[in-house]
Structure 1
Amino acid sequence: MLTRREWFVAAAGAGAVLTSRVLSGQGQPTFTPMDQGAYRPVLREPKPGAQPSMTPLERDQLERTLKCQCTCILDVYTCRTTDFTCSVSPAMHRDVMRLVEGGFTAQEIKDAFVATYGEVALTAPVKQGFNWAGYFAPAVVMTTGGIILTMMIKRWTARAAANAPVVAAGSASAAVVAPRIDASADEMARLEKALREEDFE
Protein backbone atom coordinates (compact mmCIF):
# COMPACT_ATOMS: atom_id res chain seq x y z
CA MET A 1 0.00 0.00 0.00
CA LEU A 2 1.42 3.37 -1.04
CA THR A 3 1.74 6.10 1.53
CA ARG A 4 0.39 9.54 0.74
CA ARG A 5 3.95 10.85 0.17
CA GLU A 6 4.83 7.99 -2.22
CA TRP A 7 1.61 8.55 -4.17
CA PHE A 8 2.30 12.28 -4.65
CA VAL A 9 5.93 11.66 -5.64
CA ALA A 10 4.85 9.06 -8.22
CA ALA A 11 2.14 11.35 -9.59
CA ALA A 12 4.58 14.26 -9.89
CA GLY A 13 7.11 12.08 -11.71
CA ALA A 14 4.51 10.76 -14.15
CA GLY A 15 3.30 14.30 -14.81
CA ALA A 16 6.84 15.50 -15.50
CA VAL A 17 7.51 12.66 -17.97
CA LEU A 18 4.22 13.24 -19.79
CA THR A 19 4.80 16.97 -19.99
CA SER A 20 8.33 16.56 -21.38
CA ARG A 21 7.12 14.11 -24.04
CA VAL A 22 4.30 16.36 -25.20
CA LEU A 23 6.53 19.46 -25.29
CA SER A 24 9.25 17.66 -27.22
CA GLY A 25 6.73 16.30 -29.73
CA GLN A 26 8.03 12.76 -29.21
CA GLY A 27 4.91 11.28 -27.64
CA GLN A 28 2.67 8.64 -29.19
CA PRO A 29 0.19 9.51 -31.92
CA THR A 30 -3.27 10.61 -30.86
CA PHE A 31 -6.19 8.29 -31.42
CA THR A 32 -7.95 10.75 -33.73
CA PRO A 33 -8.29 9.63 -37.35
CA MET A 34 -5.40 10.68 -39.59
CA ASP A 35 -6.15 13.45 -42.06
CA GLN A 36 -4.43 12.05 -45.14
CA GLY A 37 -5.61 15.04 -47.14
CA ALA A 38 -3.79 17.58 -44.96
CA TYR A 39 -0.71 17.68 -47.17
CA ARG A 40 -0.02 20.91 -49.07
CA PRO A 41 2.93 21.17 -51.47
CA VAL A 42 5.79 23.39 -50.29
CA LEU A 43 7.50 24.27 -53.53
CA ARG A 44 10.22 26.81 -54.30
CA GLU A 45 12.30 27.33 -57.42
CA PRO A 46 15.88 26.11 -56.84
CA LYS A 47 18.46 28.82 -56.30
CA PRO A 48 20.81 29.53 -59.24
CA GLY A 49 23.67 27.02 -59.23
CA ALA A 50 22.06 25.30 -56.23
CA GLN A 51 24.01 22.74 -54.22
CA PRO A 52 22.57 20.64 -51.36
CA SER A 53 22.51 22.92 -48.34
CA MET A 54 22.98 20.19 -45.72
CA THR A 55 23.88 16.57 -45.10
CA PRO A 56 21.22 13.85 -44.73
CA LEU A 57 21.85 13.85 -40.97
CA GLU A 58 21.31 17.61 -40.79
CA ARG A 59 18.18 17.23 -42.92
CA ASP A 60 16.79 14.63 -40.52
CA GLN A 61 17.48 16.99 -37.63
CA LEU A 62 15.59 19.73 -39.48
CA GLU A 63 12.62 17.38 -39.98
CA ARG A 64 12.47 16.92 -36.21
CA THR A 65 11.51 20.60 -35.97
CA LEU A 66 8.65 20.23 -38.48
CA LYS A 67 5.34 18.77 -37.30
CA CYS A 68 3.51 16.21 -39.38
CA GLN A 69 0.10 17.59 -40.35
CA CYS A 70 -1.83 14.29 -40.30
CA THR A 71 -3.25 15.23 -36.82
CA CYS A 72 -0.67 13.15 -34.92
CA ILE A 73 1.69 14.90 -32.48
CA LEU A 74 4.89 13.61 -34.09
CA ASP A 75 7.51 15.45 -36.08
CA VAL A 76 7.99 14.64 -39.76
CA TYR A 77 11.09 12.46 -39.21
CA THR A 78 9.57 10.37 -36.39
CA CYS A 79 6.23 9.95 -38.14
CA ARG A 80 7.68 8.81 -41.47
CA THR A 81 10.07 6.36 -39.81
CA THR A 82 7.62 4.81 -37.31
CA ASP A 83 4.08 5.15 -38.71
CA PHE A 84 3.99 3.60 -42.15
CA THR A 85 0.25 4.19 -42.57
CA CYS A 86 0.78 7.96 -42.82
CA SER A 87 1.03 9.45 -46.31
CA VAL A 88 1.49 13.05 -45.14
CA SER A 89 4.93 12.83 -43.52
CA PRO A 90 6.56 11.12 -46.56
CA ALA A 91 5.15 13.88 -48.80
CA MET A 92 6.48 16.57 -46.46
CA HIS A 93 9.82 14.73 -46.42
CA ARG A 94 9.98 14.90 -50.22
CA ASP A 95 9.37 18.65 -50.05
CA VAL A 96 12.21 19.02 -47.55
CA MET A 97 14.56 17.03 -49.78
CA ARG A 98 13.67 19.19 -52.81
CA LEU A 99 14.29 22.39 -50.84
CA VAL A 100 17.61 21.05 -49.53
CA GLU A 101 18.65 20.14 -53.09
CA GLY A 102 17.53 23.62 -54.15
CA GLY A 103 20.10 25.20 -51.85
CA PHE A 104 17.72 26.52 -49.17
CA THR A 105 18.96 26.80 -45.58
CA ALA A 106 17.25 25.23 -42.59
CA GLN A 107 15.66 28.54 -41.58
CA GLU A 108 14.48 29.22 -45.13
CA ILE A 109 12.90 25.76 -45.30
CA LYS A 110 11.11 26.27 -41.97
CA ASP A 111 9.89 29.67 -43.15
CA ALA A 112 8.55 28.05 -46.34
CA PHE A 113 6.58 25.47 -44.33
CA VAL A 114 5.22 28.17 -42.01
CA ALA A 115 4.15 30.21 -45.06
CA THR A 116 2.19 27.18 -46.31
CA TYR A 117 0.76 25.68 -43.09
CA GLY A 118 1.13 28.45 -40.54
CA GLU A 119 3.02 28.09 -37.25
CA VAL A 120 1.39 24.67 -36.69
CA ALA A 121 4.09 23.40 -39.07
CA LEU A 122 6.64 23.77 -36.27
CA THR A 123 7.03 21.41 -33.32
CA ALA A 124 7.85 24.40 -31.08
CA PRO A 125 6.40 27.91 -31.30
CA VAL A 126 8.51 30.75 -32.64
CA LYS A 127 10.36 32.48 -29.79
CA GLN A 128 8.66 35.84 -30.03
CA GLY A 129 5.74 37.71 -28.48
CA PHE A 130 3.22 35.66 -26.51
CA ASN A 131 4.84 32.41 -27.71
CA TRP A 132 7.50 32.83 -25.01
CA ALA A 133 4.83 31.69 -22.53
CA GLY A 134 4.95 28.25 -24.16
CA TYR A 135 8.59 27.93 -23.14
CA PHE A 136 8.39 29.31 -19.60
CA ALA A 137 4.90 28.31 -18.44
CA PRO A 138 5.63 24.54 -18.01
CA ALA A 139 8.75 25.27 -15.92
CA VAL A 140 6.86 27.78 -13.78
CA VAL A 141 3.96 25.37 -13.24
CA MET A 142 6.25 22.45 -12.34
CA THR A 143 8.36 24.60 -9.99
CA THR A 144 5.26 25.96 -8.25
CA GLY A 145 3.81 22.46 -7.97
CA GLY A 146 7.08 21.16 -6.50
CA ILE A 147 7.14 23.92 -3.88
CA ILE A 148 3.52 23.27 -2.89
CA LEU A 149 4.12 19.52 -2.75
CA THR A 150 7.21 20.02 -0.55
CA MET A 151 5.29 22.25 1.84
CA MET A 152 2.44 19.72 2.08
CA ILE A 153 4.85 16.85 2.77
CA LYS A 154 6.58 18.86 5.51
CA ARG A 155 3.22 19.68 7.09
CA TRP A 156 2.10 16.04 7.01
CA THR A 157 5.45 14.91 8.45
CA ALA A 158 5.21 17.42 11.29
CA ARG A 159 1.62 16.37 12.01
CA ALA A 160 2.57 12.69 12.00
CA ALA A 161 5.50 13.36 14.37
CA ALA A 162 3.22 15.27 16.77
CA ASN A 163 0.75 12.36 16.90
CA ALA A 164 3.40 9.63 17.11
CA PRO A 165 3.50 7.46 20.28
CA VAL A 166 6.16 8.31 22.89
CA VAL A 167 8.96 5.85 23.74
CA ALA A 168 8.70 4.88 27.41
CA ALA A 169 11.38 6.54 29.55
CA GLY A 170 13.95 4.19 31.07
CA SER A 171 13.19 1.40 28.64
CA ALA A 172 16.15 -0.95 28.27
CA SER A 173 15.80 -1.44 24.52
CA ALA A 174 13.79 1.68 23.63
CA ALA A 175 11.45 -0.75 21.90
CA VAL A 176 8.68 -0.45 24.49
CA VAL A 177 6.26 2.20 23.32
CA ALA A 178 3.72 3.87 25.57
CA PRO A 179 0.64 5.60 24.19
CA ARG A 180 0.24 9.32 24.78
CA ILE A 181 -2.24 9.99 27.63
CA ASP A 182 -4.02 13.31 27.86
CA ALA A 183 -4.67 13.60 31.63
CA SER A 184 -4.06 16.23 34.28
CA ALA A 185 -1.67 15.74 37.20
CA ASP A 186 -4.61 15.41 39.59
CA GLU A 187 -6.20 12.71 37.43
CA MET A 188 -2.91 10.81 37.24
CA ALA A 189 -2.52 10.97 41.02
CA ARG A 190 -6.01 9.53 41.53
CA LEU A 191 -5.23 6.78 39.01
CA GLU A 192 -2.01 5.84 40.82
CA LYS A 193 -3.86 5.77 44.17
CA ALA A 194 -6.56 3.50 42.75
CA LEU A 195 -3.93 1.12 41.36
CA ARG A 196 -2.12 0.94 44.73
CA GLU A 197 -5.37 0.19 46.53
CA GLU A 198 -6.12 -2.50 43.96
CA ASP A 199 -2.76 -4.13 44.65
CA PHE A 200 -3.44 -4.27 48.41
CA GLU A 201 -6.78 -6.05 48.02
Structure 2
Amino acid sequence: MVKYLMMGLAATVLAAGCSGDQAPAPDGRAETAPGLADSTSTPSTVGEEGTLVTDAADVNQTLGVYTAGEAAPAYVVDSNRRAVYLLEGDVEGRGCQDACLRDWAPVMPPTGTPTTDGELAPVLVDIVRRPDGTEQMTYNGHPLYHYVGDQRVGDTTGHMVEDAWGTWYLVTPQGTAVGEKVGPMPDEPGGSPDRDPAG
Protein backbone atom coordinates (compact mmCIF):
# COMPACT_ATOMS: atom_id res chain seq x y z
CA MET A 1 0.00 0.00 0.00
CA VAL A 2 2.82 2.40 0.87
CA LYS A 3 4.49 1.54 -2.43
CA TYR A 4 1.41 2.65 -4.42
CA LEU A 5 1.11 5.91 -2.44
CA MET A 6 4.75 6.78 -3.16
CA MET A 7 4.29 6.07 -6.88
CA GLY A 8 1.22 8.32 -6.99
CA LEU A 9 3.05 11.14 -5.24
CA ALA A 10 5.99 10.90 -7.66
CA ALA A 11 3.65 11.06 -10.65
CA THR A 12 1.99 14.18 -9.25
CA VAL A 13 5.33 15.94 -8.73
CA LEU A 14 6.51 14.98 -12.23
CA ALA A 15 3.32 16.31 -13.85
CA ALA A 16 3.66 19.61 -12.02
CA GLY A 17 7.27 20.00 -13.11
CA CYS A 18 6.43 19.39 -16.78
CA SER A 19 3.50 21.77 -16.90
CA GLY A 20 3.94 24.72 -19.33
CA ASP A 21 1.30 26.93 -17.72
CA GLN A 22 2.54 30.34 -16.56
CA ALA A 23 1.90 31.41 -13.02
CA PRO A 24 -0.57 34.30 -12.71
CA ALA A 25 0.75 37.78 -12.01
CA PRO A 26 0.70 38.92 -8.37
CA ASP A 27 -2.41 41.05 -9.01
CA GLY A 28 -4.28 38.12 -10.54
CA ARG A 29 -4.08 39.36 -14.15
CA ALA A 30 -2.58 37.30 -16.93
CA GLU A 31 0.87 38.48 -17.94
CA THR A 32 1.44 39.66 -21.52
CA ALA A 33 4.65 38.93 -23.34
CA PRO A 34 6.79 42.02 -24.11
CA GLY A 35 6.22 43.55 -27.53
CA LEU A 36 2.55 42.57 -27.76
CA ALA A 37 1.04 45.93 -26.87
CA ASP A 38 -2.25 46.94 -28.49
CA SER A 39 -1.47 47.99 -32.05
CA THR A 40 -4.92 49.33 -32.85
CA SER A 41 -4.48 52.70 -31.17
CA THR A 42 -3.21 55.63 -33.24
CA PRO A 43 -1.49 58.76 -31.90
CA SER A 44 -3.47 61.99 -31.82
CA THR A 45 -2.09 65.13 -33.40
CA VAL A 46 -3.44 67.14 -30.47
CA GLY A 47 -1.91 66.55 -27.05
CA GLU A 48 -2.71 67.87 -23.60
CA GLU A 49 -4.21 71.36 -23.37
CA GLY A 50 -4.44 71.58 -27.15
CA THR A 51 -0.69 71.31 -27.74
CA LEU A 52 0.01 70.14 -31.28
CA VAL A 53 2.13 67.02 -31.66
CA THR A 54 4.19 67.94 -34.68
CA ASP A 55 5.76 64.53 -35.20
CA ALA A 56 2.46 62.65 -35.41
CA ALA A 57 1.22 61.38 -38.74
CA ASP A 58 -1.02 63.75 -40.68
CA VAL A 59 -4.20 61.81 -41.35
CA ASN A 60 -6.85 64.49 -41.67
CA GLN A 61 -10.31 63.36 -42.69
CA THR A 62 -12.06 66.74 -42.91
CA LEU A 63 -11.24 70.33 -43.81
CA GLY A 64 -13.13 73.02 -41.95
CA VAL A 65 -13.16 76.74 -41.15
CA TYR A 66 -11.78 78.44 -38.06
CA THR A 67 -11.91 82.04 -36.89
CA ALA A 68 -10.72 83.65 -33.67
CA GLY A 69 -13.54 86.23 -33.64
CA GLU A 70 -15.78 88.48 -35.70
CA ALA A 71 -12.96 90.86 -36.63
CA ALA A 72 -10.53 88.06 -37.49
CA PRO A 73 -10.42 86.48 -40.95
CA ALA A 74 -11.70 82.95 -41.36
CA TYR A 75 -9.22 80.37 -42.60
CA VAL A 76 -9.09 76.68 -43.47
CA VAL A 77 -8.06 74.12 -40.84
CA ASP A 78 -7.86 70.34 -40.67
CA SER A 79 -10.05 68.09 -38.54
CA ASN A 80 -7.88 68.88 -35.49
CA ARG A 81 -8.38 72.65 -36.05
CA ARG A 82 -4.76 73.01 -37.10
CA ALA A 83 -4.13 75.77 -39.66
CA VAL A 84 -3.19 74.76 -43.19
CA TYR A 85 -1.18 76.93 -45.57
CA LEU A 86 -0.54 77.42 -49.27
CA LEU A 87 2.75 78.34 -50.90
CA GLU A 88 2.36 81.06 -53.51
CA GLY A 89 2.95 79.60 -56.97
CA ASP A 90 3.18 75.99 -55.79
CA VAL A 91 1.91 73.35 -58.24
CA GLU A 92 1.48 69.69 -57.23
CA GLY A 93 3.91 70.11 -54.35
CA ARG A 94 6.86 70.88 -56.58
CA GLY A 95 7.50 74.17 -54.77
CA CYS A 96 8.34 72.50 -51.46
CA GLN A 97 10.72 69.55 -51.50
CA ASP A 98 13.77 68.26 -49.64
CA ALA A 99 14.90 70.78 -46.98
CA CYS A 100 11.59 72.65 -47.24
CA LEU A 101 9.82 69.66 -45.72
CA ARG A 102 11.63 70.18 -42.42
CA ASP A 103 9.41 73.22 -41.76
CA TRP A 104 6.38 72.53 -43.93
CA ALA A 105 4.59 69.17 -43.76
CA PRO A 106 2.28 68.26 -46.67
CA VAL A 107 -1.28 67.61 -45.53
CA MET A 108 -1.81 63.95 -46.30
CA PRO A 109 -5.20 62.72 -47.53
CA PRO A 110 -7.26 60.27 -45.48
CA THR A 111 -8.14 56.76 -46.52
CA GLY A 112 -11.11 57.34 -48.78
CA THR A 113 -12.54 60.57 -50.13
CA PRO A 114 -11.54 63.82 -48.37
CA THR A 115 -14.51 65.73 -46.99
CA THR A 116 -15.32 69.24 -45.77
CA ASP A 117 -17.69 70.74 -43.26
CA GLY A 118 -20.67 72.82 -44.36
CA GLU A 119 -18.69 76.05 -44.71
CA LEU A 120 -16.35 74.85 -47.46
CA ALA A 121 -16.99 73.90 -51.08
CA PRO A 122 -16.38 70.13 -51.48
CA VAL A 123 -15.68 70.60 -55.19
CA LEU A 124 -12.54 72.56 -54.30
CA VAL A 125 -10.98 69.65 -52.40
CA ASP A 126 -8.70 67.34 -54.35
CA ILE A 127 -5.59 65.16 -54.10
CA VAL A 128 -2.37 65.48 -56.10
CA ARG A 129 0.65 63.24 -56.38
CA ARG A 130 3.87 64.91 -55.32
CA PRO A 131 7.21 64.48 -57.15
CA ASP A 132 8.27 61.89 -54.55
CA GLY A 133 5.18 59.79 -55.25
CA THR A 134 3.28 60.63 -52.06
CA GLU A 135 -0.20 62.17 -52.09
CA GLN A 136 -1.15 65.60 -50.80
CA MET A 137 -4.48 67.34 -50.26
CA THR A 138 -5.26 70.52 -52.19
CA TYR A 139 -7.91 73.20 -51.87
CA ASN A 140 -8.81 75.22 -54.96
CA GLY A 141 -5.74 73.74 -56.60
CA HIS A 142 -3.35 74.82 -53.84
CA PRO A 143 -1.30 72.06 -52.15
CA LEU A 144 -1.83 72.33 -48.38
CA TYR A 145 0.83 72.29 -45.67
CA HIS A 146 1.21 72.42 -41.90
CA TYR A 147 3.86 74.69 -40.38
CA VAL A 148 6.22 73.26 -37.78
CA GLY A 149 6.13 76.54 -35.83
CA ASP A 150 2.44 76.12 -34.95
CA GLN A 151 2.40 74.55 -31.49
CA ARG A 152 -1.22 75.00 -30.38
CA VAL A 153 -4.68 75.02 -31.87
CA GLY A 154 -5.26 78.53 -33.18
CA ASP A 155 -1.59 79.23 -33.94
CA THR A 156 -0.99 80.87 -37.33
CA THR A 157 2.73 81.59 -37.13
CA GLY A 158 3.28 80.44 -40.71
CA HIS A 159 1.07 83.17 -42.23
CA MET A 160 3.00 85.51 -44.53
CA VAL A 161 6.30 83.77 -43.76
CA GLU A 162 8.86 84.45 -46.49
CA ASP A 163 11.63 81.89 -46.83
CA ALA A 164 13.82 80.32 -49.50
CA TRP A 165 10.81 78.66 -51.12
CA GLY A 166 8.50 81.65 -51.31
CA THR A 167 5.70 83.26 -49.32
CA TRP A 168 3.21 81.23 -47.31
CA TYR A 169 -0.40 82.13 -46.53
CA LEU A 170 -3.39 80.90 -44.62
CA VAL A 171 -6.20 79.77 -46.91
CA THR A 172 -9.61 81.45 -47.08
CA PRO A 173 -12.82 79.38 -47.35
CA GLN A 174 -12.97 80.57 -50.98
CA GLY A 175 -9.60 78.95 -51.66
CA THR A 176 -7.40 82.05 -51.90
CA ALA A 177 -4.65 83.38 -49.67
CA VAL A 178 -5.82 85.29 -46.61
CA GLY A 179 -5.24 88.97 -47.38
CA GLU A 180 -6.46 88.67 -50.96
CA LYS A 181 -9.76 89.92 -52.31
CA VAL A 182 -12.38 87.23 -51.90
CA GLY A 183 -15.85 86.87 -53.33
CA PRO A 184 -18.74 84.40 -53.11
CA MET A 185 -17.94 80.74 -52.61
CA PRO A 186 -16.93 79.43 -56.07
CA ASP A 187 -18.68 76.49 -57.70
CA GLU A 188 -15.53 75.18 -59.39
CA PRO A 189 -11.79 75.40 -58.77
CA GLY A 190 -10.21 78.49 -60.23
CA GLY A 191 -7.23 80.79 -60.08
CA SER A 192 -6.64 83.14 -57.19
CA PRO A 193 -7.68 86.78 -57.71
CA ASP A 194 -5.22 89.61 -57.36
CA ARG A 195 -4.08 90.26 -53.83
CA ASP A 196 -5.81 93.17 -52.12
CA PRO A 197 -3.16 95.88 -51.56
CA ALA A 198 -5.03 96.90 -48.43
CA GLY A 199 -4.94 93.33 -47.07
TM-score, normalised to structure 1, is 0.24
Higher strand share: 2
Higher helix share: 1
Higher radius of gyration, 1 or 2: 1
